[in-house]
């Protein structure tokens, strides 16, 4: 099938005889068809970021497998998968423009295309005026937009995002979320998005996979039936509020359980 | 008229320097200061002019700087690769970093008699001393710089398909650069001081050696002039290396 | 985990010692190089030599005196400066300016002023150590938690009580850091001066052993001095840690 196929993936940290060994993820199985935006949400330590690393080929699972378009993932696939991190992923010694061009150099994109791709990406996120700025000169929201531009310039079919807005204040998050929805509606990408924010998950996703507390398993997958791009009206709608409440009920016990185990450690 | 605090502090500094120099000059003219030990300031200034015009001081300084250049080259050639290799293994870092730091605590000058024995009293013993002094901060800072590389940026580069060569050249090196260059700076400055020290203790050429020669001859003003040149050289070296370091880090927050 | 680290360190040292032994015995010119075995033997012989022991003890004495003077002078200079932002701002640049002078260039001058005996070595040690104390104590005074001062004042403490019950105790960790750095400085200064003066003391022996092409004795003397240096540095480090325990 086209898209991402996760089968029975488990992840552990620490060796078998280590008393502090942790099972982060247990037996995760999920299909993400091409073109869908799936959010992974769950309490801290439930393995959602680990799963993202495994899909990206940045980490090997303890058990299970991931296939992309039918082929098993054995390492990073820069031509198929791009990744947006929580923060600090821009190279501080390079300008925004050079950050993007360096990413293209890493990917091995044809030299003739790089300039054009970078320009396209910069205009997609609205940062053309800041292309020669350095990361330390940008606000948090702009830095994440720059990172997104870098990922978009790689023109991959799959985009993974690990809590990209976590370091930003809520108001910036909301606005960026709206912009992201508009942007992604234009492109036909498969997106897996990890977040802690209930509203963000409902607002952006086609489906939301809810994780249990550690060891993380996929408890439920909630469908969000709403056309893209998601409008600001959706943000204030009763439908969103209702879905958010459903998510809350699904998550609440898991979060409590996660906090209890953290205190016990 | 009330003066600002900064201005008042400047006046205090100026007054201190003026008092010291004034007392010095008065002491010389009244004969309270032994002119063979502490010659008049005016004589020193005159000698400084003469020495600079005569030109031999540049040759002496040149010898010292040449020794420094070679010593530094050795220290970098050994220190950078060694530091990088150690940084690749967490176990190696835990084992060797404290060991090297502990060794660093022993005054390097202690090795100088050994180098004099091996290499004689000429420049090679100075070069060996300078290299030994410089290699420690270089190794330690290289280890530190390459072990504290930001994991997120490394992951980002890997996810974008960076090859090992690209990871090294385009991510590791820029990440480590600020720390490594601080170590290089320290190595250069400390190396210079070590070489001056070696020349002072036992040598046949170089700035430090000339200072000693003049101390033993009856030309104290000339010695002070040479000391002034040495101080100026050290300051210039410090300023130059500081500039290079700041230029390399200009992308950072002010 | 610490077991593996210790093993690696010991292995590395052992490897170097063996390499030194082998290379010294088989390849090196015995006029210039001595193997560790010969060095150790010579070290014990030196310790039996009353002249050498006298020189070492003299150096230790100079170190001790220089250290005490450096610390005392450093504190006396630093505390008044630290208490007043104006005077600190005025004098600190002057102190830093003096600190920047490569002191080794004035060593011949010191000898001319103080002569060839212990006073020169002590003086040179003091000038090397005092700056560390001044700078760390001043820095320490800047970081005294103002909350502590306000709390004590609100409880009714007088200026004198503040100084003796809040400021000085807060300064102890910085003082010990300064002492550790002063120890390194004093070691360097005294050793430099000792090596320079080759008529007596350690400098005499290093030159004698070098001229006589007696590498084992030279290596041994250096080893003894290095051991003293390491021991003193360790002492200073441990003292610093012990007195900084409450510091976050």
Q: Give tens-digit pLDDT for C1-10.
A: 577 888 898 9
Cβ contact (<8 Å) for B177 and A93? Answer: yes
The CATH number for B47-248, chosen from 1.10.3720.10, 2.60.40.420, 3.40.640.10, 3.30.1370.100, is 1.10.3720.10
pTM score: 0.85
d(CA A54, CA B231): 59
Domain at C34-243, CATH homologous superfamily? MetI-like (1.10.3720.10)
Q: How confident is the model over C154-212, as pLDDT tens digits? A: 888 787 887 778 777 888 888 999 999 999 999 999 999 999 998 889 999 999 998 89
Closest alpha carbon to C31 in C191, C207, C214: C214
Instruction: Please count the other Cβ atoms lying within 10 Å of the Cβ belonging to residue B149.
Output: 16
All residues of chain B having their beta carbon less than 8 Å from the beta carbon of residue A148 are: none
Q: CA-nearest residue of chain A to B176?
A: A93
pLDDT tens, residue by residue, C12-22: 999 999 999 99
With an 8 Å CB cutoff and a minimum of 3 pairs, decide whether chains C and A touch: no
pLDDT of residue B28: 87
CA A129 from chain centre, in angstroms, equals 26
Residues of C in contact with B8 (CB under 8 A): 86, 90
With beta carbons under 8 A apart, name residues in chain A contacting B161. 76-79, 106-108
Scan residues 124-183 of B and list those with Cβ closer than 8 Å to C: none
β-strand partners of A248? none
Min mean pLDDT across A201-205, A258-262, B104-108, C32-36 is at: A258-262
Within an 8 Å CB–CB cutoff, is residue A134 touching chain B? yes
Instruction: Return the domain boundaries, chain C.
Output: 1-30, 34-243
pLDDT at B246 exceeding the cut of 50? yes
Task: State the pLDDT at residue B254.
Answer: 44
Helices (H) and strands (E) in chain B, counts: 11, 0
List, for residues B110-138, the tens digit of each pLDDT value: 999 999 998 989 999 999 999 999 999 99
Per-residue confidence at A135, pLDDT binned at 50, 70, 90? very high
| Start-to-end C-alpha separation, chain B | 35
A146 touches B at CB < 8 Å: no
Is residue C8 within 8 angstroms of chain B, CB to CB? yes
Task: Average the pLDDT over C209-236 and give the result.
Answer: 92
Q: In this predicted structure, what is the pLDDT of residue A193?
A: 93
β pairing state of A207-211 and A37-41:
parallel
Length of chain A as a residue count: 265
Q: Would you state the pLDDT for residue B112?
A: 94
**Chain C touching partners, 3 or more CB pairs below 8 A:** B
CA–CA distance, B41 with B43 (Å, rounded to integer)? 5
Q: Which residues of B touch C188 (CB under 8 A)?
A: 107, 109
Q: Considering Cα of C125, then C130, then C131, then C132, what sign does the dihedral take? A: positive
C11 in B contact zone (CB under 8 Å) = no
Cβ-based contacts under 8 A for chains B and C: 127
What digits encode the pLDDT tens for the residues C70-85? 999 999 999 888 888 8
Residue-wise pLDDT for B26-46, tens only, equals 988 888 888 888 888 888 999
CB contact under 8 A, B109 and C108: no
Nearest CA in chain B to A102: B170
DSSP A134-171: -GGGS-HHHHHHHHHHHHHHT--SEEEEESTTTTS-HH
- C192 at B interface, C-beta within 8 A: yes
Q: What is the rounded distance in angstroms from the CA atom of residue A80 to the CA atom of residue A85?
A: 17
Instruction: Write the class of the CATH domain A1-25+36-80+164-260.
Output: alpha beta
pLDDT tier, A265 (very low <50, low <70, confident <90, very high otherwise): low
Residues A32, A83 contacting (CB under 8 angstroms): no
Could you say which of C32, C104, C112 has the minimum Cβ distance to residue B215? C112
Residue boundaries of the structural domains of chain A = 1-25+36-80+164-260, 90-155
C contact residues 161-180, partner B, Cβ 8 Å cutoff: none
* pLDDT band of C248, cuts 50, 70, 90: low
Mean pLDDT of chain C: 89
Q: Measured between CB atoms, does C142 come within 8 Å of chain B?
A: no
In whole angstroms, give the CA distance from residue C56 to residue B84: 39
């Amino acid at each position: 099938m086209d898209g991402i196929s996760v089968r029975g993936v488990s992840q552990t940290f620490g060796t078998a005889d280590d008393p502090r060994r942790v099972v982060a993820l247990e037996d995760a199985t999920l299909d993400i068809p091409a073109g869908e935006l799936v959010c992974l949400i769950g309490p801290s330590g439930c393995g959602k970021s680990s799963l993202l690393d495994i899909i990206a080929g940045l980490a090997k699972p303890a058990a299970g497998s991931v296939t992309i378009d039918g082929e098993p993932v054995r390492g990073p696939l820069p031509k198929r998968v791009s990744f947006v991190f929580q923060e600090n992923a821009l190279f501080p010694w390079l300008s925004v423009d050079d950050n993007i061009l360096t990413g293209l150099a890493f990917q091995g994109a044809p030299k003739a295309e790089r300039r054009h791709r970078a320009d396209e990406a910069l205009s997609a996120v609205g940062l053309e005026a800041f292309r020669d700025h350095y990361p330390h000169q940008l606000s948090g929201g702009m830095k994440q937009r720059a990172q997104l531009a870098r990922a978009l310039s790689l023109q991959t079919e799959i985009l993974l995002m690990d809590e990209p807005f976590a370091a930003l204040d809520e108001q910036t998050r909301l606005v960026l979320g709206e912009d992201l929805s508009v942007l992604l509606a234009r492109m036909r990408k498969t997106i897996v998005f990890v977040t802690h924010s209930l509203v963000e998950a409902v607002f952006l996703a086609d489906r939301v996979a809810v994780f249990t507390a550690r060891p993380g398993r996929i408890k439920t997958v909630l469908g969000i039936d709403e056309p893209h791009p998601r409008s600001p009206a959706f943000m204030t709608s009763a439908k969103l509020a209702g879905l958010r409440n459903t998510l809350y009920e699904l998550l609440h016990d898991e979060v409590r359980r996660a906090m209890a185990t953290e205190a016990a450690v | 008229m009330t003066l600002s605090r900064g201005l008042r502090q400047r006046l205090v500094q100026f007054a201190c320097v003026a008092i010291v120099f004034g007392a010095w000059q008065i002491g010389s003219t009244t004969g309270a200061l032994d002119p063979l030990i502490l010659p008049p300031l005016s004589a020193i200034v005159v000698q400084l002019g003469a020495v600079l015009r005569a030109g031999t001081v540049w040759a002496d300084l040149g010898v010292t700087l040449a020794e420094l250049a070679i010593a530094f080259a050795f220290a970098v050639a050994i220190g950078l690769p060694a530091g990088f290799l150690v940084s690749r293994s967490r176990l190696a870092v835990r084992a060797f970093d404290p060991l090297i730091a502990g060794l660093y605590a022993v005054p390097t000058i202690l090795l100088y008699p050994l180098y004099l024995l091996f290499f004689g009293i000429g420049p090679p013993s100075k070069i060996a001393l300078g290299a030994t002094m410089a290699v420690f901060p270089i190794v330690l800072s290289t280890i530190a710089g390459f072990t504290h590389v930001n994991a997120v940026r490394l992951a980002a580069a890997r996810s974008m398909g960076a090859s090992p060569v690209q990871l090294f050249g385009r991510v590791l090196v820029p990440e480590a650069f600020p720390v490594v260059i601080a170590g290089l700076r320290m190595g250069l400055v400390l190396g210079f001081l070590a070489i001056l020290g070696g020349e002072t203790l036992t040598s046949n050429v170089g700035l430090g050696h000339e200072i000693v020669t003049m101390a033993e001859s009856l030309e104290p003003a000339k010695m002070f002039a040479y000391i002034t040149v040495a101080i100026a050289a050290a300051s210039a070296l410090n300023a130059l290396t500081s500039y290079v370091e700041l230029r390399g880090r200009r992308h950072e927050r002010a | 985990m610490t077991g593996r680290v210790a093993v690696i360190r010991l292995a590395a040292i052992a490897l170097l010692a063996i390499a030194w032994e082998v290379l010294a015995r088989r390849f090196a010119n015995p006029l210039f190089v001595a193997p560790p075995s010969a060095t150790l033997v010579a070290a014990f012989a030196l310790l039996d030599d009353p002249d050498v022991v006298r020189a070492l003890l003299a150096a230790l004495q100079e170190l001790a005196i220089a250290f005490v003077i450096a610390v005392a002078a450093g504190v006396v200079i630093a505390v008044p400066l630290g208490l007043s932002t104006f005077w600190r701002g005025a004098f600190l640049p002057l102190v830093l300016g003096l600190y920047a002078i490569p002191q080794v260039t004035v060593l011949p001058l010191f000898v001319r002023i103080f002569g060839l005996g212990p006073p020169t070595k002590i003086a040179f040690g003091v000038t090397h150590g005092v700056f560390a104390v001044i700078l760390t104590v001043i820095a320490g005074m800047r970081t005294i938690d103002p909350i502590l001062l306000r709390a004590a004042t609100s409880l009714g403490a007088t200026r004198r009580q503040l100084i003796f019950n809040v400021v000085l105790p807060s300064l102890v960790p910085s003082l010990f850091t300064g002492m550790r750095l002063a120890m390194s400085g004093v070691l360097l200064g005294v050793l430099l001066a000792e090596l320079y003066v080759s008529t007596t003391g350690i400098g005499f022996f290093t030159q004698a052993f070098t001229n006589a092409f007696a590498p084992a004795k030279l290596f041994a003397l250096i080893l003894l001095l290095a051991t003293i240096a390491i021991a003193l540095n360790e002492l200073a480090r441990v003292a610093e840690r012990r007195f900084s325990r409450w510091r976050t």
